[in-house]
């Protein structure tokens, strides 16, 4: 059983990974990331961390915060981990460019709620 107390730390891991992705996205073009496997899989890993941390959030937390599509995030994690050979760079880039900035304010809000800071 997942521990409620750990939700705060999982949100912190999500927020940290989001920040790394957003900070580094502005440093590289899509072409640079798609053309360099080390860069590409560095970005993949941070999206994967988000998915894994979401997967480990308690069921209660996810049920009380339905504004986020938790299942979609978990689904992305499964693809990245188990279907790593099928990852299309444009899909990863679109996730980072379109979905991650939308997710960030929710995670920041939830983290403040749980941590009190």
Domain count, the chain: 1
Q: Is 2 exposed, middle or buried (0-12, 13-18, 19+ CB in 10 A)?
A: middle
Nearest-CA neighbor of 57 among 70, 45, 47, 44? 70
- pTM value? 0.91
Asked if residue 67 lies in contact with residue 106, where contact means CB atoms within 8 angstroms, the answer is: yes
* Per-residue model confidence (pLDDT) at position 4: 60
* Per-residue model confidence (pLDDT) at position 32: 97
Confirm whether 82 is a catalytic residue. yes
Confirm whether 77 is a catalytic residue. yes
By residue range, what is the domain housing residue 29? 5-115
* Per-residue model confidence (pLDDT) at position 63: 97
- Report mean pLDDT in 10-residue bins for the chain, 117 residues: 77 98 96 96 96 96 97 91 88 95 98 88
* Per-residue model confidence (pLDDT) at position 15: 98
Of the chain, the end-to-end C-alpha distance in Å amounts to 26
DSSP string, 76-115: HHHHHHH-GGG--HHHHHHIIIIIHHHHHHHHHHHHHHHH
* Per-residue model confidence (pLDDT) at position 84: 79
């Amino acid at each position: 059983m997942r521990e409620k107390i750990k939700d705060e730390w999982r949100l912190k891991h999500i927020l940290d990974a989001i920040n790394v992705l957003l900070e580094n996205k502005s440093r590289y073009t899509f072409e640079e990331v798609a053309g360099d496997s080390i860069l590409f899989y560095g970005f993949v890993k941070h999206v994967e961390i988000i998915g894994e941390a979401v997967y480990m959030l308690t069921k209660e937390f996810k049920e009380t915060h339905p504004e986020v599509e938790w299942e979609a995030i978990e689904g992305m994690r499964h693809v990245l981990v188990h279907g790593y050979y099928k990852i299309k760079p444009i899909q990863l880039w679109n996730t980072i460019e379109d979905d991650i900035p939308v997710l960030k304010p929710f995670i920041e809000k939830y983290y403040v709620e749980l941590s009190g800071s």
